[in-house]
Amino acid sequence: MTKSLSRVATATAIAAVLACAPAVRAQTDKPWLDPSLDAGVRAGLAVKAMTEDEKLTLVFGYFSTDAPWKKFTRPEGSLPDAAGFVPGIARLGIPAQSQTDAGVGVATQRSAHPRERTALPSGIATAATWSPERAFDGGAMIGNEARLSGFNVMLAGGVNLLREPRNGRNFEYAGEDPWLAGVVVGNEVRGIQSNHVISTMKHYAFNDQSTSQSELDSQIGDADARMSDLLAFQFVNEIGHPGSVMCSYNIVHGRHSCENAWLLDEVLKTDWGYKGYVMSDWGATHSTVESANAGLDQDSGYPFDDKPYFGAPLKQAIAAGKVPQSRLDDMARRILTSMFAVGLFENPLKGDQSASIDYGKNEAIAQADAEEAIVLLKNDGLLPLAKTAKTLAVIGAHADVGVLSGGGSSQVYPHGGSAAPNEGPDNFPGPMVWFPSSPLKGIARRSSATVTFASGKDIHAAADLAARSDIVIVFASQWTAEGMDVPYLNLPNGQDALIAAVAKANPKTVVVLETGGPVVMPWLNDVGAVVEAWFPGSNGGEAIARVLTGEVNPSGHLPATFPASLDQLPRPVLDGDNHGPRGKLYTVNYGIEGAAVGYKWFDKKGLKPLFPFGYGLSYTRFEAGGLTAQPSGKALSASFTVKNAGDRDGKAVAQVYVSPASDAGWEAPKRLGGWVKLDLRPGESRAATVAVDPRLLAVYDAVSKTWRIKAGDYQVMLANSAADIVQTQTVHLDAQTLDVTGK
């Protein structure tokens, strides 16, 4: 019904415009260029003027990097060593689509001359800030660098839930909770698009591990899907309005995502009313007729696919009546609707303007993000570093020269090249890139102590240095990357042993982790402090130094549970096999946990993690209280106050969880209902109110396609983390039935 109405509305609007066309046409023979018209109307007008071949031009994208091994040269007009390119249509004034990766900044495909641009901290780091403002600012910054680099489409917006802590791409995403991930990535997308650059949400959907990803069939029930991964995408779509969606490599219930009518046509376009376009991941298209008819709108990154599926094959399929002409028209309309809506026509690219990028300003934005992302996990008083310390040992992870970044298509390259070159694999997803922002130099500039570095390669030398130092700061890194999962959650390359040896030599040891996601810490009881710095971006070393020396009070909170061991996971053994026989299919049963992802699984199973979701310490002390909860609209809101009871500024993340007092058919005992991050001076109290989205109080019913809140009492919990509830109130809610969009 919704679809037919919107078509009628659009057709009526087009007729109205054409009826008064003489006046408009007098202005131009291209009425679609009138910016006063609605984007959908403009797209309809343009499609009516297009030839079949022009429509086919729009729906077929090329890799924007030479691929000699495939005898492929990037298209005329495309930018070198970039992600993708779709030619424009000069006759109609339609600009080319110049596509860049991705979530932390303007990436470059592996190249001898990479673009050197600003890198945000990793996506999971920005999620650890619990700050929509940092997410927006970061998106706005990288979107600006993309535009000034000559790109008008940014393939950012990764929001796959962290179901699998070993997933090599967790660093690109935003953790395990649909609401936190949806708000953070939705604001990043909003930031990117504020530059008139189309952003993407990806990888739609359930591409939650890399092992055998193209042969892996993700199994999950409709309701569980809608209350977990799809809910995160739904929130991103509502908050960020991404111009495009990237369907993923994996299979979902037997159909590859890019030819999966349930995902593309039913959920995204019909149920959620999505008006933008679906592009494939690079090499994720597997058919012409099935993918076109299932809702794919743009076949990306040729020659990644084994053959072109759109273009000539699509033209033949339409001529043969296998794909309706209306489907091609809809593809073109969707692409143009997003291009009009995001402002690509009125804000044409002006080629390479990267000389005008204000890197100082942009690095400060990245640093502010990193500083709020750092999570203080343990502190026996060692932090901030004592100014009385006379000798500091800094050990490991190239802390003398830089900080680590994640690998793969999202790789941003720093000015001047990697601080520790020639590391990591020679081919994709390498190289391993270290950003030249030295934690050691940052610490030394802020300390009167003698600071000595040891690489950590020689454990004995490191332990000797530790033994003769007042305080030890040992850095440990875990490189994660696209296309590969980590086999376990331990730190690699013997770093657990290094930390144990250093801590044994000197218990005044601080551990700084630079990881892609959760890791286990067998040495935790032997060290005095631990911070998780993630992949901290262009100025990450400065951010780490400012936190360790106390210039910045850490305010990060975990966006994902840190398990105590793999045995606690729904699937202790990873499914799939990257070395298995070609074409063999695998299944991953996400139905085991269903929507109970992360802390919800731990709650449901009564498991104690190493560190819980939402956990993070501060150099000051916060007191949250005064909780009241009341029905609000179709859901509820919670009000409370937070006080900074300590002696220094700090940012608190007050979390609100919700739970039915009696069985309401939820997937787990509680859900994150909302949060607020408050910057408080010593002694300052602030009142806050959090409104909970009704879908977070409901169960999705797949038959009626409604969200249902069961009448009854609900507990509202004010908390410092998923495992630290400060205060609980009970509120009665009447039964509610919401439509598929939560209204």
- Residues at the contact surface with ligand GLC, assessed by CB under 6 A: 83, 101-102, 155, 202, 281-282, 409
Signed CA dihedral, 206, 208, 214, 215: sign only? negative
Nearest to 102 by CA among 150, 137, 153: 153
Question: Which residue number, 218 or 409, has a Cβ lying nearer to ligand GLC?
Answer: 409
Spatial contact of 508 and 470, defined as CB atoms under 8 Å apart: yes
629's enclosing H/E stretch is strand 622-632
User: How is residue 464 written in tokens?
Assistant: 């000797």
Question: Which residue number, 106 or 699, has a Cβ lying nearer to ligand GLC?
Answer: 106
DSSP of 477-529, one letter per residue? Answer: E---BTTB--SSSS-STTHHHHHHHHHHH-S-EEEEEE-SS----TTGGG-SE
Closest contact distance (angstroms) between CB of 409 and ligand GLC is: 4
Question: Which residue number, 480 or 721, has a Cβ lying nearer to ligand GLC?
Answer: 480
Question: Which residue number, 83 or 120, has a Cβ lying nearer to ligand GLC?
Answer: 83
Question: Which residue number, 94 or 155, has a Cβ lying nearer to ligand GLC?
Answer: 155
Which residue, chain included where needed, has tokens 């005992």?
Answer: 669
Question: Which residue number, 202 or 226, has a Cβ lying nearer to ligand GLC?
Answer: 202
DSSP letter at 214 equals G
Closest contact distance (angstroms) between CB of 39 and ligand GLC is: 24
Closest contact distance (angstroms) between CB of 75 and ligand GLC is: 15
Q: In angstroms, rounded to a whole number, what is the distance separating the alpha carbons of residues 627 and 37?
A: 48
| HEC readout, 397-433 | CCCCCCEECCECCCCCECCCCCCCCCECCCCCCCCEC
DSSP of 216-268, one letter per residue? Answer: EEEE--HHHHHTTHHHHHHHHHHHH--SEEEE-SSEETTEEGGG-HIIIIIII
Closest contact distance (angstroms) between CB of 213 and ligand GLC is: 9
Question: Which residue number, 291 or 438, has a Cβ lying nearer to ligand GLC?
Answer: 291
Question: Which residue number, 82 or 709, has a Cβ lying nearer to ligand GLC?
Answer: 82
Q: At residue 493, what is the residue type?
A: N
Q: In angstroms, rounded to a whole number, what is the distance separating the alpha carbons of residues 469 and 463?
A: 10
Spatial contact of 388 and 557, defined as CB atoms under 8 Å apart: no
Closest contact distance (angstroms) between CB of 113 and ligand GLC is: 18
Q: Residue 665, Cβ neighbours under 10 Å: how many? A: 11
Closest contact distance (angstroms) between CB of 330 and ligand GLC is: 23
Q: In angstroms, rounded to a whole number, what is the distance separating the alpha carbons of residues 322 and 241?
A: 32
Question: Which residues, other chains included, contact 528 with Cβ-Cβ below 8 Å and sequence gap of 6+?
Answer: 378, 379, 380, 381, 382, 507, 508, 509, 510
Closest contact distance (angstroms) between CB of 399 and ligand GLC is: 30
**Beta pairing, strands 60-64 & 216-219:** unpaired
Closest contact distance (angstroms) between CB of 100 and ligand GLC is: 9
**Beta pairing, strands 82-86 & 97-100:** antiparallel
Question: Which residue number, 307 or 445, has a Cβ lying nearer to ligand GLC?
Answer: 307
Residue 259 burial (C-beta neighbours within 10 Å; 0-12, 13-18, 19+): buried
Residue 219 burial (C-beta neighbours within 10 Å; 0-12, 13-18, 19+): middle
Question: Which residue number, 455 or 578, has a Cβ lying nearer to ligand GLC?
Answer: 578
Q: Residue 328, Cβ neighbours under 10 Å: how many? A: 24
Closest contact distance (angstroms) between CB of 83 and ligand GLC is: 4
Spatial contact of 126 and 168, defined as CB atoms under 8 Å apart: no
Question: Which residue number, 14 or 258, has a Cβ lying nearer to ligand GLC?
Answer: 258
Closest contact distance (angstroms) between CB of 588 and ligand GLC is: 17
Closest contact distance (angstroms) between CB of 302 and ligand GLC is: 12
Question: Which residues, other chains included, contact 499 with Cβ-Cβ below 8 Å and sequence gap of 6+?
Answer: 474, 476, 491, 509, 511, 523, 527
Closest contact distance (angstroms) between CB of 303 and ligand GLC is: 13
User: How is residue 684 written in tokens?
Assistant: 């300052």
Question: What angle is formed at CA 380 by the lines to CA 617 and CA 681, rounded to 5 degrees?
Answer: 40
Question: Which residue number, 159 or 499, has a Cβ lying nearer to ligand GLC?
Answer: 159
Closest contact distance (angstroms) between CB of 155 and ligand GLC is: 4
Question: Which residue number, 40 or 123, has a Cβ lying nearer to ligand GLC?
Answer: 123
Q: At residue 566, what is the residue type?
A: L
> b vs e for 552-564, b when ≥16 Cβ sit within 10 Å of the residue's Cβ?
bbbbbbbbbbbbb
Closest contact distance (angstroms) between CB of 77 and ligand GLC is: 18
Question: What angle is formed at CA 742 by the lines to CA 740 and CA 743, rounded to 5 degrees?
Answer: 105
Tally of helices (H runs) and strands (E runs) in the chain: 19, 30
Closest contact distance (angstroms) between CB of 318 and ligand GLC is: 27
Closest contact distance (angstroms) between CB of 172 and ligand GLC is: 8
Closest contact distance (angstroms) between CB of 626 and ligand GLC is: 44
Spatial contact of 459 and 497, defined as CB atoms under 8 Å apart: yes
Closest contact distance (angstroms) between CB of 304 and ligand GLC is: 8
Question: Which residue number, 202 or 286, has a Cβ lying nearer to ligand GLC?
Answer: 202
Question: Which residue number, 155 or 227, has a Cβ lying nearer to ligand GLC?
Answer: 155
Nearest to 729 by CA among 628, 636, 641: 628
Spatial contact of 336 and 33, defined as CB atoms under 8 Å apart: no
Q: In angstroms, rounded to a whole number, what is the distance separating the alpha carbons of residues 276 and 533?
A: 36
Question: Which residue number, 281 or 299, has a Cβ lying nearer to ligand GLC?
Answer: 281
Collapsed DSSP state (helix, strand, coil) of residue 374 = coil
Question: Which residue number, 108 or 736, has a Cβ lying nearer to ligand GLC?
Answer: 108
Question: Which residue number, 101 or 217, has a Cβ lying nearer to ligand GLC?
Answer: 101
